[in-house]
Amino acid sequence: MDDQILQTAADMYGTPSYVFDLDEFHQRIRHMKEILGHEIKICYAMKANPFLAATSAQAADGLEVCSPGEYAICRRAGVPGKKIVLSGVNKEPQQILEVMGEGGAAAFTAESLYQLQILEACAAQESGQRTAQKSAVPVLLRLTSGNQFGMDEETVRAIIRDRGSYPHLDFIGLQYYSGTQKKQMSKLKKELEYLDGVLAGIREELVYELRELEYGPGLSIPYFEGQEIQDEDLMLREFRDFLDQMEFTGTITLEAGRFLAAPCGSYITQVVDLKRSQGQNYCIVDGGIHHVNYYGQAMAMKIPLHRFMPRQASGRREEERWTVCGSLCTSGDMLVKNLPLPDPAMGDLLVFDRIGAYSVTEGIYLFLSRRLPRILTYTEADGLCLVRRDLPTDPLNDGSIHIDQL
């Protein structure tokens, strides 16, 4: 997004604001499919940024949905059930029945034996409510990578061996995700080799053919100055080679969130105060850590990719180092320490780039009862669009909003 678009966003709508480039997001999905091959499906993990859900429904093959709220967002955006993978560690029967009653999903993930029991009970109930025979509900068994998510290989095998106990479920494949920001391609290769072995073992030893693999590679995105900017095309081509080496011949779906969304967002905040105290320059902005949250930020010691946009370009001196702090009354509200800035002035803009993933929802928004930041989207066809104004949070913090208003 060029400076003029961001300057216009600040002038027209004010700060602090996020701006998400929907064209770039759409293009990243399309380009990823072009390099990997269109037979490889892309599933957008909407927890990275729910404001991109509608665009991802147009560009991606599916969306991973992990909560009733995310499902509601998809329904309002018109996302068809056949594009939804209902995931998450806490699936409630009421939510499952709602999804099944509205036509179901492309697949439901199962994180535990208990979730399987819930899915089977809901599928049996939903099937019994219809006169026509319903087909079995498609289920992806989540294989753990050594944390609270999913089940170990022994449990997965036992489920498939005992599949007759789940007559209303169809175990179509595996889901596997082991983390984010993976920089070593060798790790991805080892994971795919492991998954290929698990799938082969189930096929040969249990005489059961799993038809799908949903895999979250956790491809890395550089956020900070000094980090190497990788050749994404080269990385994706190497990853495609790993996929080609697999014996598994079923459908492969890649779950991606951060990798797709992060480069498509910018955050604009404005300088509201400047001071020098005990030899340190402090620049106060109208945003803060409740809006800016980069993975691996490390207490503001790293400098995120950013732009300084002065209101007036003339008369700037040499750069000095400034600690950029936000508007929260806590000493932890530091965005960047010792950021080189050329004589900042009130009203100047700081733009934090590559902030299209997670920051928009991960922030501690209710702290200090400040207003929510604005959310803007941009496309070449429609220009800037305000999709959420700067909403107040104070009624949420004292019970002023009646329960019926929520």
Q: Which residues are catalytic?
A: 329
In this structure, are strands 251-256 and 212-216 parallel, antiparallel, or unpaired? parallel
In this structure, are strands 374-379 and 137-143 parallel, antiparallel, or unpaired? unpaired
Tokens of 10: 């600040």
Tokens of 13: 């709508």
Q: What is the 3-state secondary structure (H, E, C) of 357-380?
A: CCHHHHCCCCHHHCCCCEEEEEEC
Cβ–Cβ < 8 Å for 276, 282: yes
Helix residue ranges per DSSP H, 206-354: 232-244, 258-261
CA 114/CA 296 separation, integer angstroms: 34
The residue assigned the tokens 């950021």 is 339
CA 99/CA 139 separation, integer angstroms: 14
Cβ–Cβ < 8 Å for 200, 239: no
DSSP letter (8 states) at residue 236: H
* Bridge partner list, 284: 273, 325
Helix residue ranges per DSSP H, 219-324: 232-244, 258-261
DSSP for 69-115, please give it. Answer: HHHHHHHHTT--GGGEEE--S---HHHHHHHHHTT--SEEEE-SHHH
